[in-house]
Every structure is written in C-alpha cells, then in structure tokens.
Chains A and B, each alone.
Chain A
Amino acid sequence: MRNLFLWLLMFILTVPVCAQQMDFKTLALIPIQEGGRVKPLDTFARESVRFITGHEAFEEKGSLDLLFDWLTHPADWNDKNFILIENLDLKSLLSVDKDQKRVAPSFLLKNDGFIAYAKMNYAKQQKKITLNAMEKESLSVFGRLEKFEDIESGRLLTIIPIPNEKTQKWVSLEDLQDSYRLNPKGMPDAIKVVLISFAGLLKTYDTHDAAGFSTESQNLSQLLSQLEGKDAVDAGKIALEVQFNAVKPFQLAWIIQLTAFVLMGLSLLFGSRLLYQPGFGLFVIGIFVSVYGFTMRCIIAGRPPVSNMYESLIWVTFGMTVFALIFELIYKNRQFAVAGSALAVIGFVLADNVPTILDPSIQPIEPVLRSNFWLTIHVLTITLSYAAFLLSLGIGHFGLWTLWKYPKDKERLQKQINLLYRVVQVGIVLLASGTILGGVWASYSWGRFWGWDPKETWALIALLGYVAILHGRLAGWLKEKGFIIGVVVAFLGVLMAWYGVNFILGAGLHSYGFSKGGLPYVIGFVVLELSIVTFVGLNHSRLSKHSYSAR
C-alpha cells in the first residue's frame, strides 16, 4: 500500500507551484510606449509574440507569460526554435527543413552568411532596390531576431513614463541600466525602486511564486504610475484596449456569423421559417458585435480604420453586412442575410488568422493621412463600394445557383437580376464618388487631381468593368446568364484594386498600404470563381433550350 501521507506531502510541495497560475492581469495594464503610441503591456506582448512566432501564444504560454520567460531565462530560449521563417527558398538557403516552421536565435546568429545576406538586403532596401520574396523574408527573419534581442535586453521595454524633452521618448529598462552603470549615485530613488521592483518581479517569476508575483506586479504598477509624465497616459483607454484584446470582437463576430449562416442556410435549404428567425437575429447581433469592435478600435487608435489591409478588410466585411441588412429589410429577400453572413465569416476569419500578411496591430498612420477630412471620406467611400460589390458577389452566386437550378425560369432569373442590379448600382455610385473624392483629396493635398497612380487607376478599371456590364445588358449583348456571370467576374477588378495593387503591383503613392503575401490564396480564389462560372455557364448553355450567349 502506498503511503498516503508521503504522497500528500509531495502534492503540497510540487503541485501548487505548477497548478497555481501566474496572474498577469495587473501587468497587462502597465502602459508602454512603443511604435509611436502608448499602449498596454498586454498589447505590446501580443504584438511582439505574434511578430516573432506568428501566433499570440507559443508552447501553451500566453504572450505576457512568454515575455517574462524571455526576460527571466533568455539563455533557455537561445536554442529553441521559435523564430518564424516562412519562405521556402530562404529555408533551403539556410539548410532548414522545409516543414520546419521556426528556427532558433543561436542558429541564425551563428550563420555569418545569413547575417551578411540580411544586412546586404537592408542596404539594398535603403537604396530603394526592389527585393524578391526571399530577400524580403530574410529581412523579416532578421527583424524577428532583433526584436527578440531587444526585448530580452530591455531596450524595447520603454515603460518608464519620463519623456525626453526633445524626442518625447520614454525611458527603457536598458536606458536605466546604462545610466546607472555610468552614474550609480545619480539615480533618483523613485527610479531605483522601480528597478528593484522589476528585479523582484523577475525573481518571483523565476521561482514560480504566484503570490509574490501578484504582489510585485501591484507594486511595480503603483510605482510606475507615480512617476511624472503619467498625465500623458489615459488609463481608461489602456483598460479599454486590454478589454478589446481579450474580447477579440472580430473573432466573436465570425463565430456568431457562422452560426447565423448555418441556421439561415438550413432554413433556406428546407424552406423552413423556424430556423431563419434565430439565424437572422444572430446575423444582426453579429453586426452589433462588429460595431462594438470598430468603436473600440477607433477610440483606441483615435482615428478611423483606414490605414492598412487588415483594417480595410474588417471594414469592408462589416460594411457588407450592413448593406446586406438594409437590402434584406427593403426587399424581404433572405439571400441577402445568408450571403452577408457567409461572406462575413470568410472576411473575419481571414482577418483573424493570417497576422503575418494582415497585421492587426494598431499603428500610427502616415503624415498625409492625418487629420484630413477629405481623405477619410474618400477611403471610407471607396471601401464601402468594395463592400457593396462584395455583397453583389454573394448575390451573384445566388444568381449562379438559380442559373444552374432553374435554367429556363426566365421570371425567376429576372427577379434575381433585379436584386443584383440594385446592389451593383449602389457599388457604382460609391466607387464613382469615392474615386472622384480621391481626386479632390489629391488635388487638395498635393495639387494633382489625377496622377495615374495605380490605386486610382485600378479603381477606375473596376468601375469601368461594372459600367461595361451595364452597357452590355443595355446593348442586349448580355442576357441573364451573361449579366450574372459578368457581375461575379467583375469583382476580380475590385479584388485587383483592393488587394492586387498593394500586394502584387506594390507601386505608387498609396505605399502606406503595401505589404506582402497571401498571393496563393488569392489566386486559388480567382481560379475557383472562374471554374464555378465556367461550369455553371456551360451547364446552362446545355440545359436551356435557347442558348443565351455571354459574348
């Protein structure tokens, strides 16, 4: 028989230490100045961990936990594979297995060739020479390595709220260390206690002393908030941001929209009204959750969400659901809400899951975009037109379905086309005005109404695409099939203006939105869409007595 007492003793000695979770709630709220704004430590940890590893958590450690592990045991992490590397060519250059997703800092630091290669690419980039995907990735990997080193050394931990008079830069833990080394007696007591408290924090973290960790967290937070310059920090906003990080409204939104879609889709399939009402209710709730998300994001960032691809994706998806709701209410046609919820799931899931391509962090925007009424109006109008066209894509798929299912039912097809026509019309008004507002802004801001910038040129091409379809319908060249297929295909123009210019062409004045990646997904989407329309088109020609040509 086992000795129960001994077992219990062992239990007390080991388990509580492991089982008692460290509490990061207080630390999450500590303000840190990074990337041009003051944000909670929670956001800093999430962004850094996401940037370095590709996910907000690594090996089951949350981001703040990981941050403290890096600070406390930097040596343990030197040989761990946690630095994200994505490009296959770069992996083969470094002799990394192509299935290996991450590499260790020591592996990179030991490789002189890699360091020289990255530095050379940096020099190239400074000279404005275009880099290929592998060269860009070498810079990203190098950046991840540097970020890890800068966190570990305390250089990025700018948590001492004493702004430099000239640069407004707060003091980092590394700065403290340096100034202390130069002048050990000159350090004010208020700062000395911060250092002591931070050391205590790391010590309790090291010994898994959860209670001590909580106490030290409180203490540090208290000490930091007493330092001068704290007036610059809006504690309410910091708390709001931590709440926003925890709630993840856009993740919540897609989960709700997915449920809504399943319910409404089933109701459409079985012709039952019973499932539809709760589904529609959830759809509306989903919209409100995104409204909450946007409001929070606008308050935190202090500006409308117009600055990068992530923001435009969530904004367009949100706008699309609002259009779907309005159309649903006007036309009492269930396909709007169904298409709206389906596309919302796609949009929000994309935004939520590819952080290396669509960066969700909130960053200060470029000078030209600041405090500019016309610009905000211009971008919001253009993106709302994308939202309308996105909805038209969804309704277009209902049209394709009608073509496939009821190829000879002209009345049904005409009804479908009327709905589609309305949505496209909304898109055209918004895209035409948005493009012109862009000209107004450009003219107002740098004196040129039209400068053949690829973004504006592609907005025009997308517009011309839809205009061509309207004229084709008027000329009688596009019948029911042609019009429906045309609307689906014309969305590719929007996709090019929206995604392609920034990610494929990567040229022009709208460079603040440039990024890389995601091309295989987009090509996959384009191929899928083209296959669907070809399939439906051919099938329709075969089935319908009178063959409507889509010439």
Chain B
Amino acid sequence: MKKLFDNKVFKFISSIKLALPMILLVSVLLAAGTIVESRFSTAVAKRFVYSTWWFNLALLLLGTNVFCSAISRYPWKKHQTGFVITHLGILIILAGSLITQQYGLDGQIALDEGQEGHIFQEDKPTLYYQIDQDEIEQIPAAFTFSQPTPDKPEIIHLPNDGLLMINQFYVNAEKRVHGRGAEKGETGFPAVHVTLDSSFVHENQWLFLGNKDYGHLDLGPASVFFEKESDWKKRLAGGEKDVSENALVILAAADGSLKYQVRRKGEFTTIETLNVGDDIATGWMDMQFKVQERLPDAVPEETYEREPFGYQKDLEPALHYEIIYRSEKKEGWLGFETQDTATVAGETFAMAYGPLQLHLPFSIHLIKFHLGLDPGTDKPASYGSDIYYMDQENQGTQVPVNISMNKPLHYRGYTIYQASYQALPDGKYTSVFAVGVDPGMGIKYTGAMVMVFGIILMFWFKNPAWGKKEKNA
C-alpha cells in the first residue's frame, strides 16, 4: 500500500493538480453540451456530447482522481473528515449512476382510453427483421460510434448464405417525395411539381391528384391543393367550409389542360389557365408559384436525405439496406418508425426500424384519462390516468390505480409515471406513461446524503471563528 502511494503515476492521478484541470475540463464539456442542446435538441446533445467516449472518459478520469485523492491521504486525520466524507459521497453517486446506466430502463408506453398494453419502448434505435415465419431478429441500429457507409457496410449474415447489409445511415434524415413515372403494375396518379417563393417562404413539393398523403400542402395561413376541376366545382357547390380563407387550387381540367384559382381572404379569383414553367403571382404579399413539372401517371417515391439537425426536434435516423439472397438483390430505405417488406428469391423479408421494444412483466389497461383545466381557460392544470394493471402470473386480478403527475405506480421493480398526453380527434385521449427501472437510485440517494453531510462537516473543521475544532485544522 505504502509503495503504491509513492508511485509517481498514482501521485499524479491522486493530486489536486490533476483535479483542477479536470474540473475545468468537465465544466467546459458540459457547457458545450448545453449549447449543442439549445442549438439543436436534447437528442443531439445526448448523442454527440453526453454519450460519446471522450466525455465519459473525462468523467471517469475525474472519478478516478476523486477516488485516488481520497485513499492517498490514508490514514485520515481528524480535520480531513469533511473532505473524506464529501469525496466518498461523490464516488457513491457515481457508482449509483453507473449501475443505473448499466441495469436501468427508461422507456415509454402510450395507451388510448380502453386500450391495454405491456410493451414499452426505449429510445434505442433498433432494426427488426423476419424471414417468412421465422423468429423475429433484432440488431441495435443507433451506430453511435461508427456509421455504416457503402464502403464499410454493417453486414448481417442470414441463413442460406444470405446477407443483409446496411450500407448507408443518416443520424438525422428527411423523407423526400419525388414523382416517378409509374411502371407496369403500379397505380399512378397525375402529379405536379410546385414551387412557392416569396421573401419569407420557399416551398418545393410534388402534389399527387387523389392521393391521400401527398395531395395537398399546408402553409399555415394558406394551403395548396391539386384537384380535378369537376370535383372542385362540386366541392364549392357543397359549401366552402372546408376550404381555408387563403387557398391556391391547381385544377386538372377535363380537356387535359391545367388551370388554377386563388382564394384571398375568402374571395375567389376567376379560374385561369396554367402553363408549366409560368411564374404566377398569388396576391398573398409577394408570393409567386410555378408548376415546374407535370407527370400524367406518377407514383410518389420516398427517399431519405441527410438533414441538418432541427431545433428541438428529435433525431430521425434512416438507413439504406440491401438484401442479397440466393443471388437475388433488393434494396431500399427505412426511415425511423417505418417498416417494409421485400420479396427476394421467393422469400418474404419483413423489416422494421424503430425504438427498442421491451416487455413489462404485467399489462396495463387505461380506463380513463382525466384532464383538469385552470378555471375558465384551456390551460391544463393537472392530469392523470385511471388504470388497472394485471399480473400475468396472477391472471384475472385487475388492480385499479390512479397514476397522475407526481404520483407514479410502483410495481415489481417498475415505476410507471404519468408523462404526457395527446388529445384525439374523437374527444378521447392517449395517455403517455414513462416506464422506469432504476436499481441505482438508493445508492445515488445515499451518496447524495453522504456528500452533503461531508460539505456541512467542512464548515466545522475549517472555520476560523467557530468552535475549538479549528485548532486541528
């Protein structure tokens, strides 16, 4: 022991001369993390600062320094009591955090009223795949440390010498929809590629006639539609209720030509003809629109592009896969929380990309969600959920309980918290619960109490004015 204390390296690691730069370094890294967080989002800060190897190395070094400095002063003198206890407290907190990180769970489960569930999701991107009726397989697909590229793909071996490759990955991606001429056997739609430009808005979008997802564009105070002229006239005849105050309608006329009509503050202009490539003023401030391209029979094709991080937006990763199976090939994109199936050499490959799915050892049934408002406002004042939980070991026993803000349910090592909610169009609610397992909690609390006790003790021992203990210092 004595030998160890004399070791030069140990002396350095336990010295206050290392402590100070480490404290400052960690402070700077933390500050950088918060700036990243405010510039982008919590998800980006977690991914690019707080969960990187260098940040955790810095914390580890600081922890080691705290540990070594405390033991190197052994045997401790009386006036060091505060110092030793404080540093011991910090170590206990760090140990507790490590246990939480390793064995803790932190997920979410969303239930509609009347719905029952036991699967919760953890924010760990995962790729699930299944070949025909085989078992569902899963691989972690967050790629925190290294991202797959076409040159360095992530390779998963499938039965029969098959390969599943992830050969492109974007941490944050945006779906782009292009019009592509329909191929044989595909259902196509007439499509126009529209751009809207003004000093404050630049929009660029494909509109597909009769397509539910890509039929119109919502700009906030105004919206853009693409419709058959006859349908449009029918719709207007039936009342203008569902057309916004400001609207631009591109019309496909029966003779195959394009027309348009603008609505400004409820007033319609006359219907005019529209040629591809014309710049047309909408009359909404200085905004102009143009039909860049027109396809008679097109399908929306989804691809993903690398996207800069958005403010306060969660990361939306996307990956590009390639399956090689019995010398046949198939490739495609998978966005976050989407799924796809591909048929390769007669086998069906089902794939899904999304958060990690975990099972609760019991199920929860949401009976009713309660929302309390501040009187006379629509500002939520309180909210909670009436649920019952069912133990699968003890089938049939429905234990009713109320979970609300600051009033979680503790059961079988899991804690279910009321996290947030969403109002559904039919007046019902979706209640979102956080699911947590934190085996390090008791340790962290103990450490915290030890540390604060230590700091308070330091008052006693280093005080120049109070008490007699000062003589020892």
Contact = CB atoms under 8 A, between A and B. Distances in A.
Interface in B1-47: 16-17, 19-20, 23-24, 26-27, 30-31, 33-35, 37-38, 41-42, 45-46
Contact of B285 (A34, A113, A501, A508): A113
B42 A429 contact: no
Given A370-B405, A439-B448, A471-B19, A452 B33 contact: yes
B296 interface: no
Nearest to A465: B27
A116 B201 CA distance: 12
A454 interface: yes
A147 B377 CA distance: 15
B284 interface: yes
A375 B406 CA distance: 10
B464 A129 contact: no
Nearest to B105: A447
A507 interface: yes
Contacts of A142: none
A368 to B, nearest CB: 6
A367 interface: yes
Interface stretch (B154-162, B184-192, B434-442): B434-442
B374 A447 contact: no
A37 B374 contact: yes
B37 A371 contact: no
B30 A460 contact: yes
Nearest to B220: A123
B403 to A, nearest CB: 12
B372 to A, nearest CB: 8
Nearest to B26: A464
Nearest to A117: B200
Q: How large is the interface on B (under 10, 10 to 19, 20 to 34, 35 or more residues)?
A: 35 or more
Nearest to A474: B16
B27 A506 contact: no
Given A163-B375, A364-B379, A429 B441 contact: no
Contacts of A119: 220-221
A446 B24 CA distance: 31
A75 interface: no
A452 B455 contact: no
A151 B285 CA distance: 30
A447 B436 contact: yes
Contacts of B33: 452, 457
A457 B32 CA distance: 11
B382 A454 contact: no
A525 interface: no
Contact of A508 (B24, B42, B463): B42
B74 interface: no
B247 to A, nearest CB: 14
A461 B31 contact: yes
A436 B90 CA distance: 11
Given A119-B221, A128-B312, A505 B35 contact: yes
A454 B34 contact: yes
B60 interface: no
A429 B452 CA distance: 7
A419 to B, nearest CB: 10
B220 A124 contact: yes
Interface string A360-371: 000010011011
Interface in B389-442: 405-406, 408, 415, 417, 419, 434-436, 438, 441
B465 interface: yes
Contacts of B35: 505
Interface string A417-445: 01001100100110011001001100111
A151 B380 CA distance: 24
A457 B30 contact: yes
A457 B34 contact: yes
Nearest to B463: A422
A129 B311 CA distance: 7
Nearest to A462: B27
Interface of B: 16-17, 19-20, 23-24, 26-27, 30-31, 33-35, 37-38, 41-42, 45-46, 50, 97, 100, 106, 200-201, 219-221, 284-285, 311-313, 373-377, 379-383, 405-406, 408, 415, 417, 419, 434-436, 438, 441, 444-445, 448, 451-452, 455-456, 458-459, 462-465
18 contacts: A34-B376, A38-B375, A127-B220, A163-B376, A167-B376, A364-B374, A367-B380, A367-B383, A370-B406, A375-B406, A429-B459, A443-B441, A446-B417, A448-B106, A454-B37, A472-B20, A475-B16, A505-B35
Interface of A: 33-38, 112-113, 116-117, 119-120, 122-124, 127-130, 158, 163, 167-170, 330-331, 364, 367-368, 370-372, 375, 418, 421-422, 425, 428-429, 432-433, 436, 439-440, 443-454, 457-458, 460-461, 464-465, 467-468, 471-472, 474-475, 477, 501, 504-508
Given A120-B220, A163-B375, 12 more contacts: A120-B221, A127-B220, A128-B313, A168-B376, A364-B381, A371-B406, A375-B406, A422-B463, A432-B451, A449-B97, A450-B97, A464-B24
